[in-house]
Amino acid sequence: MSSPQVVVYANAELLAAATAARLVTRLVDAQAARGSASLVLTGGGTGIAVLDQLRATPARDAIDWSRVDLYWGDERFLPAGHPDRNETQARAALLDHVPVRPDRVHVPEPSDGRFGDDPEAAADAYAEVLAAAAMPEDHGPVPAFDVCLLGVGGEGHTASVFPASPAVYETDRTVVAVHGCPKPPPTRITLTLPAIRRAAEVWLMTTGPTKAAAVAMALGGAGEIQVPASGARGQRRTLWLLDRPAAAKVPGVHSPPLA
């Protein structure tokens, strides 16, 4: 498992633009090596801002979008098309503007989908989707995602794995339903930390002063039960992509020179 690397940008806008550029390079390299690429998307302000920047850059066309498999780290268990669903926001920001193949966009079932209002069944079904996509060389129950994008909450959650919640204790299942989330909507579907840790690269992106304490705790060695983001590690690389306010309490990383 990789050790965290920290990159600090002057502001949130620069972070989103630079991350989009970094993502183009990573996906193109993956396609050159294997013919296809896999990406786990995240919601939230920073995650969607990265997709907005990716849509806006002409470099997006360097990616063969027909050979990208897309997944979600977590999803709000709401009806299809609901404006608060990560899928809805990702489609508006990017996916409706690039030639992705519908059969390679792997979305957790909504609350009005095949399983109705049963988030446990929806979570189990998404775990089956991931297992079916895993290849023998992935050596696990999920694909070895090329990049897993994640946000970080002010209390240290990542995906929808919250501090001291049942999901953070999960060691066997790859996808679980989450109830009673401390921020709305209360019911979600999330990858677990063991599934996230199957990714080749994990990029944790967050901005703003309200995240500074959680970032400092995660990078300072806090356990994943207290700060789940600290348990999100990639097999080959773990990147923390921060703006100056989010990095303000991490010793040594917020001083010049900055990216």
pLDDT bin (cut points 50, 70, 90) of residue 1 is confident
**pTM of the entire predicted model:** 0.96
Question: For residue range 133-171, what is the model confidence (pLDDT) as tens digits?
Answer: 999 988 899 999 999 999 999 999 999 999 999 999 999
- Which strands sit side by side in the sheet containing 37-41, from one edge to the other? 4-9, 237-243, 201-206, 147-151, 37-41, 68-72
120: pLDDT strictly greater than 60: yes
Q: How far apart are CA 89 and CA 95, in angstroms?
A: 9
The ranges assigned to domains in the chain are: 4-247
Question: For residue range 195-213, what is the model confidence (pLDDT) as tens digits?
Answer: 999 999 999 999 999 999 9
Asked if residue 9 lies in contact with residue 258, where contact means CB atoms within 8 angstroms, the answer is yes
Cα 25-26-29 angle, rounded to 5 deg? 85
Q: Which fold has domain 4-247?
A: Rossmann fold (3.40.50)
Q: How far apart are CA 126 and CA 147, in angstroms?
A: 18
Asked if residue 28 lies in contact with residue 243, where contact means CB atoms within 8 angstroms, the answer is no
**Residue 24 burial (CB < 10 Å; 0-12/13-18/19+)?**
middle
